[in-house]
Amino acid sequence: MKPVRIALVGLVVGVVALTSLQVVRALADGADARRVDPSALPTGGEAWNRTTHLVVDPRSGHRPRRSHAESFDAAPLGAPAEDQRTTRSTDDHGLVRDGTLGVDVPGPRVLVLGDDLTMGRVPAAANWTTLVESGLRARGARGAPAFPTATVLNAGCDEYSLVHYALRGPELVARYEPSVVVVAISTGDDVTGLDDRSLPHSDDAGMAIGPDFPPAADPLALGPRSARVSPDHPGLARLGLAHAAYRQALPERASFLERKARQALLWLLEIAPRGRLLVVLVPPADLARPDEVAPLCSDEGRALIASGVQEEAHAELRTLCEILGMAYVDALPALRASAATDTYRTDGHLGAAGHRVLADLLTERVRGLARLR
C-alpha cells in the first residue's frame, strides 16, 4: 500500500503559514494576554478510531475533544490490587484543564506538547502541567519572581508520536503565541511510533507522511505483543514493553528509527528556537520502575526488561538532544528515585506522584525560560 504524502512532506513551516521570523516574534510576545475565541476553534467533529475523547483532525490525524470528561480505571503500580477510578477533563479549547480557559489567555503562556503521559489519566488538577502553572504563579527558589497570570497550555494527546508534535505544534504556536514551548517525549513509544503506518508517521528517509490507506489495524503488532508480555495489563505493555519487543524483533529498524528521531527533533526546532524550547524525556514504567512492572509480566516481558532495550532507546534520545544542542530534562533518575507507590499506574501512565515529580523537575526550568522572554 502506498502512503499518502502530507503536503510539503511534513515540513513544519508548510503545515501553517508561519515563517521562522514570525515564530520567533510570536514566542517573544507571549507575556501579553492573547485573545483566542474558543467558539471560533474547530468543532468537535467526527470521533477518531471509535474513541469518545478524540476527534479527527485534518493536520495531525486526531486531537482531543473539547469540553469533555473521560474516566479510567487503574491501580497504582506499586499497589496493583488497589483499583482506582480517575476522571480527566478538557476545556473549551480542547486542552487538559478543569473548567474553561475563556477568550483572553493571559501570559506568559507555556505550550506543552506530548502524548498519553502528558494528556494524563489523572484529574486535570493533578496533572504536572497544572502543577507547573501553580508553581509559576508563586515565587520560586531563591526569590525568583512569580508570574501571577502564567498559563500552561496542555496540548497533550493520546496516541501521538514525535511527528504529531511537528504537525500540530506550529498551529498552536500561531494561536497562543507562547513564551516557552515544552515537548514531553515518551521514550518508550514516541520513536517506534514513527513506524506506525496507521497514523501520521515518517518514512525511512525521515519524511513525514500520512497513514496508509486503508490503514493497517496494528502495523507494529502492538496488540499481540502487549498480550504476550503482560497478559493481564496490556495497556502497561503498550506504552513501553510492546515497543521494546518490536525493536528486539526487528533490529534492522534501529538505524531508520534513529534517523527518524533526529529529523523529528529538527522539526521541533522549527516550532521554537533553542532559547524557548525545552524537551522532557519521560521514560516508560518498565524502565523507571522495573521491580514493580516485572511481577505483572510474562517471562517474555521480564526478559525484555532485563535486556536493556528500553535503556538504550532512552539514551539514544538523550544523545540526540545533546548533539543538536537542545535544552532537555531527563526525568528518568527522579522517577526511579520516587518512593511513592503511585508514581506510575498499572495502565502504564503516570500516577499522581509521577506528575508531582515532573512538576518539581520542570517548574524552575520553565520559570527561567519565561524570564528570558
Query: What CATH number is associated with residue 338?
Result: 3.40.50.1110
Residue 2 lies in a domain: no
The cell for 208 is: 513525514
* Average pLDDT of the chain to the nearest whole number: 88
User: How is 120-133 classified by DSSP, letter by letter?
Assistant: -SS-GGGSHHHHHH
Residue 125 lies in a domain: yes
Categorise residue 353: left if φ over 0, alpha if ψ from -120 to 50, beta otherwise.
alpha
Can you tell me the mean pLDDT for 31-45?
A: 84
Residue 211 has pLDDT above 80, yes or no: no
> CB of 298 within 8 A of CB of 202?
no
For residue 76, which of 371, 341, 258 has the smallest C-alpha distance? 341
pLDDT band at 141 (very low <50, low <70, confident <90, very high): confident
When divided into structural domains, the chain yields a total of 1
Cα 145 to Cα 261: distance, rounded to the nearest angstrom: 36
pLDDT band at 206 (very low <50, low <70, confident <90, very high): confident
Alpha-carbon torsion, ordered 19, 24, 26, 32, to 10 deg:
-170
For residue 307, which of 287, 288, 324, 325 has the smallest C-alpha distance? 287
User: In which element (H, E) is residue 181 found?
Assistant: strand 180-186
pLDDT for 84 equals 87
Residue 220 lies in a domain: yes
Residue 18 has pLDDT above 50, yes or no: no
Residue 328 lies in a domain: yes
Residue 214 has pLDDT above 80, yes or no: no
pLDDT in tens, 282-335: 999 999 999 999 999 999 999 999 999 999 999 999 999 999 999 999 999 999
Residue 49 lies in a domain: yes
Residue 258 has pLDDT above 90, yes or no: yes
Residue 1 lies in a domain: no
* Cis peptide bond upstream of 58, omega within 30: no
Q: Which domain holds residue 120?
A: 7-371
Cα 357 to Cα 48: distance, rounded to the nearest angstrom: 32
Residue 333 lies in a domain: yes
The one-letter amino acid code at 342 reads D
Can you tell me the mean pLDDT for 258-277?
A: 90
pLDDT band at 213 (very low <50, low <70, confident <90, very high): low
pLDDT for 312 equals 96
Angle at 234 between CA 239 and CA 210, to 5 degrees: 50
Residue 6 has pLDDT above 70, yes or no: no
pLDDT band at 348 (very low <50, low <70, confident <90, very high): very high
Q: Where are the alpha helices (DSSP H) in the chain?
A: 12-15, 20-28, 116-119, 128-137, 162-176, 222-229, 234-238, 241-249, 254-271, 285-288, 290-293, 299-307, 309-323, 332-337, 352-371
Can you tell me the mean pLDDT for 212-220?
A: 72
Cα 242 to Cα 220: distance, rounded to the nearest angstrom: 9
The cell for 348 is: 502504564
> CB of 158 within 8 A of CB of 114?
no
pLDDT in tens, 94-118: 999 999 999 999 999 999 999 999 9
Angle between helical axes of 162-176 and 20-28 (0-180°, round to 10): 60
Residue 133 lies in a domain: yes
Cα 92 to Cα 340: distance, rounded to the nearest angstrom: 33
For residue 262, which of 212, 322, 210 has the smallest C-alpha distance? 322
Residue 4 has pLDDT above 60, yes or no: no
> CB of 209 within 8 A of CB of 3?
yes
Please provide residue 90's backbone torsions phi and psi, each rounded to the nearest 5 degrees. -115, 155
pLDDT band at 142 (very low <50, low <70, confident <90, very high): confident
The one-letter amino acid code at 267 reads W
